[in-house]
Amino acid sequence: MIYVSEDQLQQVQYLIEQSIQGNHLLFEAEDIKDALDTISDFPKIELDDEYAYQVEHHIERLILSASLDQKKAYLESLDKKTFRLMIKTYLNIVENDLFERSKVRH
């Protein structure tokens, strides 16, 4: 479990909101395209315990980085495979957020 402050939560929500609008502030369009083109090179990625373990500490460090520049610098320091997994994870988070918003509530 990752514990975040109210400010950190607001930053994450802002990044997700921007991504929903097509503004991926953490990633360049070419990096997203590259990750999506090469994702089939990985074994089938599911959000299981092993996958979560691979990226959890990276997500935590990303969230805890104070500024957008620090977040980008951290992402750029990752090896290519981990960077692509982070893009996949990020897009999954955005997709899940959109899915949750679209549910009809009775």
Spans of all domains in the chain: 6-100
Cβ neighbours, 10 Å, residue 62:
22
Which is higher by pLDDT, 1 or 101?
101
* Range 60-76 average pLDDT: 93
Mean confidence (pLDDT) of the chain = 85
Q: Is the pLDDT of residue 50 over 90?
A: no
SS3 label, residue 47: coil
Q: Is the pLDDT of residue 48 over 70?
A: no
Q: Is the pLDDT of residue 16 over 90?
A: yes
User: What letters, b where the CB count within 10 A reaches 16 and e where it falls short, cover 34-56?
Assistant: bbeeeeeeeeebeeeeebeeebe
User: What letters, b where the CB count within 10 A reaches 16 and e where it falls short, cover 84-105?
Assistant: bbbbbbbbeebeeeeeeeeeee
Instruction: Give me the pLDDT at residue 92, please.
Output: 87
